[in-house]
Amino acid sequence: MATDTQTVLEAAQKLADLLAEHPAVEKYKQAQKALQDDPDASQLLKQFNSVLTQIAHNERAGLPPTEEQRRQFESLQTQIASHLKFKAYSMAEYDLTDLLRKISQTWQKPLARQGAGSSGDPTSAASRLVI
């Protein structure tokens, strides 16, 4: 039985609604807000982005990063890695990404099985799928 587009979109909306209520999404939102509300974390991120911008500017000009830029980058990277709110955010981001990966693998499995019997037909649904 063929499924129409509207049915697929309705199922996608149901999945989106379920995701919105999932603990991994809530944990991610809370960690993101905690980072935004922390002045120290915001300052660290601002400094880190500034150094990255300077390094990128040098690269575009064909120059390596200066020793000072390299030192600042490493120092800020260490500070960010040890900051509790950045750690919490990284863990929450990992959990959410893992959940989304599992969902993606789940919906891709039937397409891959259908494509496996298509003798490598480049017009099969699985071979046209771009992710």
CATH number for the domain spanning 57: value is 1.20.1500
Domains: count for the chain: 1
Q: For residues 93 and 81, give the distance between their C-alpha atoms in angstroms, rounded to a whole number.
A: 14
> CB–CB of 61/55 below 8 Å?
no
Residue 35 inside a domain? The answer is yes
- Give the containing element (helix H, strand E) for 1: none
Question: Is residue 58 scored above 80 in pLDDT?
Answer: yes
Exposed e or buried b for every residue in 81-112, given b needs 16+ CB within 10 A? eebebbebbeebeebbeebeeeeeeeeeeeee
113 pLDDT tier (thresholds 50, 70, 90): confident
Question: Is residue 111 scored above 90 in pLDDT?
Answer: no
Q: What percent of the chain has pLDDT above 70?
A: 86
Task: Work out the average pLDDT over 48-68.
Answer: 96
Range(s) of the domain holding residue 66: 22-128
Residue 38 inside a domain? The answer is yes
Question: Is residue 130 scored above 70 in pLDDT?
Answer: no
Residue 8 inside a domain? The answer is no
Residue 11 inside a domain? The answer is no
pLDDT at 124: 52
pLDDT at 129: 52
pLDDT at 121: 52
What is the tens place of the pLDDT at every residue in 17-49? 999 999 999 999 999 999 999 999 999 999 999
Residue 66 inside a domain? The answer is yes
Residue 68 inside a domain? The answer is yes
With vertex at residue 81, the alpha carbon angle to CA 45 and CA 55, rounded to the nearest 5 degrees, is 50
Residue 33 inside a domain? The answer is yes
- Give the containing element (helix H, strand E) for 15: helix 5-20
